[in-house]
A and B are shown apart, each in its own frame.
Chain A
Amino acid sequence: MEKKNKVAYLGVLTALALIFSYVESLIPVYFAVPGIKLGLANVVVVLVLYQMGVKEAYLVSTVRVILAGFMFGNLMSILFSLAGCSLSIFAMYFIYKKPSFSVIGVSVIGAVFHNLGQVIVAMIIVESFSVMYYFAVLMVSGVVTGIIIGIVVVEMRKRLKINVR
C-alpha cells in the first residue's frame, strides 16, 4: 500500500474517532462513580492497532485526545485522557501479538488500563489515595465496555478491508 493511502486512512480513522468522542460527549452518564463511559473512540484505536500497527494506533489515539479535549473538554480532561490512552496502548501492545488472546481480550486490557491511567493522574492531582476506591468499580466497568468494544471491532474487521502495514 502506498504511503499516501496510509495517510488518507489515518485521517479518515482519526475523524471517525473524533465523531465517536463527540457522540459520547452527547450521552450524559451519571453514576455514583465518575469516569464510567463506553469509550467508543477505542473502537477506532483497537481497529488501527490490528490493521495498521502500534505506532499508528498511538498516533490516532493521541491526536484524537488532544483535538477532542480542545473541542469538548478542557485542559484537565486532555491530561487525564493522555495518561489513560498512553497506558492503554502500552498494555494492548504487550498482548495483541500473542495468538492466545483475541480482539476482545485486547480491548478489555485497553479499557482497564485506560481507567488505571486516569485514576493515577487523579491521585496525583488531589494528592490522596482515596481515589483508588473508584478503581474497583472502574475495573468492572472496563471489563464490560471492553467486551462490547471488542465485539464491535471483530465485526468491523470482517466488513472493512483496511490492511495497511
Chain B
Amino acid sequence: MKKNDFVLIGIVLLCAVTFYIGYNFYMGDGETVVVTVDGIEYGVYDLSENQTVVIGEEGSNILEIKDGLAYMVEANCPDGLCLHQASISKNRESIICLPNRVVVEVRSVEESEYDVIAQ
C-alpha cells in the first residue's frame, strides 16, 4: 500500500463518520411513522401506540409498532431483506422494501408541521 491509499481510506472513513454524526444530529426522536408505497403516502401511524399495520392492498408487507419501535414482521417479496433491517424509532430512520417499493419512515411531529407549511 502506498501513502495515498491511506490518505484515501482516511478521507472515506472521515466522510462516513461525518455523515453518520450529521445524520444523527439532524435526527431526533420521532413520534409518527409514515408509510409510503411507490412514492405515494399510504398512511401515518402513531409510534407510541402498539399496533400492527397491513401495508398495500394485497397486504404485501406487515409492519409492527411496539414499545416505540417500528419493524417489519412480514413481507411477500422473495429476498425479505426488510425483515432483517433494524427496528426504527428516530426521526428520518427508515425501513425500505425495494421489491414492493414500500418505505417506512419515522418523522417527528414538528417536522411534519414544517412540511405542511412548506406545501
Contact = CB atoms under 8 A, between A and B. Distances in A.
A binds B: yes
Interface of A: 30-34, 76, 98, 100-102, 104-105, 108-109, 112, 122, 125-128, 130-133, 135-137, 139-140, 142-143, 147
B93 to A, nearest CB: 7
Contacts, number: 92
A142 B8 CA distance: 12
Interface residues of B, number: 31
Given A105-B2, A139-B12, A126 B19 contact: no
A80 to B, nearest CB: 9
Given A109-B8, A139-B12, A139-B16, A30 B84 contact: yes
B85 A32 contact: yes
Closest 3 CB pairs of A and B: A105-B5, A127-B39, A32-B86
B5 A140 contact: no
A98 B105 CA distance: 43
Contact of B103 (A76, A102, A128, A132): A128
B96 A131 contact: yes
A146 to B, nearest CB: 8
A112 B11 CA distance: 12
A142 to B, nearest CB: 7
Interface centre among B3, B9, B105 (most CB of A within 10 A): B9
